[in-house]
Structure 1
Amino acid sequence: MPQYLADIKEKEFFIQDEEARHLTRVARHQEGDEIRVFDGKGKQFAARITRVQKDFVRGDLLEPIPLKKSALSLQLCFAPTSRNTLEDVLDKCTQLGVSSFQPISTRRSEYDLLKKWDGKQDRWTQIMLSACKQCDRGDVPGLLPPLSFEKAVARPNLPSLLAYESEETHTLRWGLEKLGTPAELSLYIGPAGGWTDEEVTVAAQYGVLPVTLGPHILRAETACIAACAKLL
């Protein structure tokens, strides 16, 4: 059953503007129909529409739907290679269950996200929101402002792994076990050109463990999706 983003109160929900128009004009729901609603923060309910007006829908909450979450809270720290690949990663990894996204710039980054950031957050939030609707997810991931790789790893941070193309032995499973199977984790994925030796050294200074994703060199966006799928 499709779900819709709503303002959820104690016993009622309210949907306005574009979301209400989609519900009534595209999906053609009417008063009396049962739907699912969510607030993007983890609350999901089965609900019934009681009133439809222009650009406004109101209804009753019927029963809560338990939030489905992975046992691991995963922050993906990744270096986008283009706008299209950035949006693909946000879409697919939201569906997989990533908790938050931290875009980073690296020595070999070709896509300057810092120059593209202003004015794009609403579009990228909408992409994550659409992915949540598609996969029946109740919470929208966080999207943090971009940082340089050096600043990202230097923060007081979560236990962290770094996908490194020159690592041949230590796997994601090894990394998780080495970190004590944490409940929260940051995963670093580099740009198309890979990490520099200096970046790998800096990461090691902050306790970030390099791991392999397998015998083949993956595209950056493929590495993001494959690693998140494996971890989650």
Structure 2
Amino acid sequence: MQLFFNPEITEKDTQVTFSRDESKHIVKVLRKSEGDILNITNGKGLIFKAEIIIADVKQCTIKIISAEKEPPPPYYLHMIVAPTKMNDRYEWFLEKAMEIGVHEITPIICDHSERKVVKLERYERVLLSAMKQSLHSRFPKLNEPVTFKDFMEKKLHGSKLIAHCEDVMEKPYLQKKVHPWQAVNILIGPEGDFSKEEIDLALKYGWEQISLGDSRLRTETAAIVACHTVAMKNQEL
């Protein structure tokens, strides 16, 4: 099964035209023609089955045959992850998080961050490609980058967990703090970890310290471990 993306489709539509880029991909690259059937998502949980009626590389037009709404996930995962020095490593995190299951992502700029500028358009393209490849029907919310201090002021729904490498007495493993069917926010720091001041500030704002295991992990690896742990916890029921 191939999955295509058109964010403008709604359940009320009967006929839709793709963007120029997607039209070119469908008609010129994949060589689809009139009468071919496509599976399409709008990134909001809807899967459409449609027939190509005009196979134009600039304006590929389809006729909607059916629409099916996929059930929402039983949990909500918000990953707040510091951008990595090497951009391809952060993009790897985005790709794998999309495949595993993530619902919101916030790049956070920390005291030890070596990369403080990110290109959200590129991140969106990585997420979109991974969404189609993994046949997901929901596109995660990708937030603007924010400083650690400013992020602490935000009101969040669900549990708030911060993973860091400091040696402290009370730092349970993530799997012990994740509860099925609930929302969870997880903070992952940059290379060099969070600063002591950032950890103290997070604790002041009600964040709970957690461990991802005994190994010292790269930023992107820690983020994927967290995504997988939450996803698996919600598949236990």
Judge same fold: TM > 0.5, yes or no: yes
| 2:55 equivalent in structure 1 | 52
**One-letter code of the match for 2:178?**
L
- Counterpart for residue 88 of structure 1: 92
CA contact (8 A) 2:33 2:52 kept: yes
Equivalent residue for 2:102?
Answer: 98
Change over 3 Å in CA distance of 1:96–1:211 after alignment to 2: same
Counterpart of 1:175?
177
How many residues in Structure 1 have an aligned counterpart in Structure 2? 224
Give the Cα–Cα distance (whole angstroms) in 2 for the partners of residues 211 and 171 of structure 1.
6
Q: If the length of structure 2 is used for normalisation, what is the TM-score?
A: 0.87
Q: 2:34 aligns with which of 31, 34, 42?
A: 31
Displacement of 1:69 in angstroms is 4.6
Q: Secondary structure at the match of 2:172?
A: coil
User: What is the aligned partner in structure 1 of residue 4 from structure 2?
Assistant: 4
1:57-82 Cα deviation digits (max 9, x unpaired): 11222222342653211111011112
Deviations 1:105-146 (A, max 9, x none): 111111122xxx4xx222221111111110111122111111
The match for 2:162 is 162
Q: What secondary structure sits across from 1:65 in the alignment?
A: strand
Structure 2 counterpart of 1:95, which letter?
Answer: E
Is the partner of 1:53 in helix, strand or coil? coil
> Quick one: distance in 2 between partners of 1:91 and 1:123?
12
User: Could you tell me the percent identity over the aligned residues?
Assistant: 28
- The aligned counterpart of 1:148 is 147
Distance (whole Å) between structure 2 residues aligned to residue 174 and residue 198 of structure 1: 26
> Deviation of residue 169 (structure 1)?
4.8
Residue of structure 2 equivalent to 1:107: 111
Q: Which structure 2 segments of 5+ residues have no match?
A: 232-237
Structure 1 stretches lacking a partner, 5+ long? none
1:159-184 Cα deviation digits (max 9, x unpaired): 2111122357501122225xxx5622
CA distance in structure 2 between the partners assigned to 1:103 and 1:26 by the alignment: 33
Distance 2:209 2:149 in 1: 16
Partner of residue 41, structure 1: 44
Partners of 2:181 and 2:48 in 1: CA distance: 30
CA shift in 2, pair 1:90/1:215, >3 Å: same
What one-letter code is carried by the residue in structure 2 that aligns with 1:107?
Answer: D
Question: Measured at CA, do residues 104 and 169 of structure 1 come closer, stay the same or move farther in structure 2, by a change above 3 Å?
Answer: closer
8 Å Cα contact 2:45-2:72 kept in structure 1: no
* Secondary structure at the counterpart of residue 124 of structure 1: helix
Q: Distance in 2 between matches of 1:131 and 1:4?
A: 11
The 3-state SS of whatever aligns with 1:8 is coil
Q: Judge conservation of contact 2:27–2:57 (CA < 8 Å) in 1.
A: no
Q: Which 10-residue stretch deviates more, 130-139 or 87-96?
A: 87-96
CA distance in 1, matches of 2:71, 2:31: 28
Instruction: Give the conservation status (yes or no) of the 8 Å contact 1:94–1:128.
Output: yes
Query: Which residue type is aligned with residue 3 of structure 1?
Result: L
Partner of 2:138: 139
Which secondary structure does the structure 2 equivalent of 1:30 belong to? coil
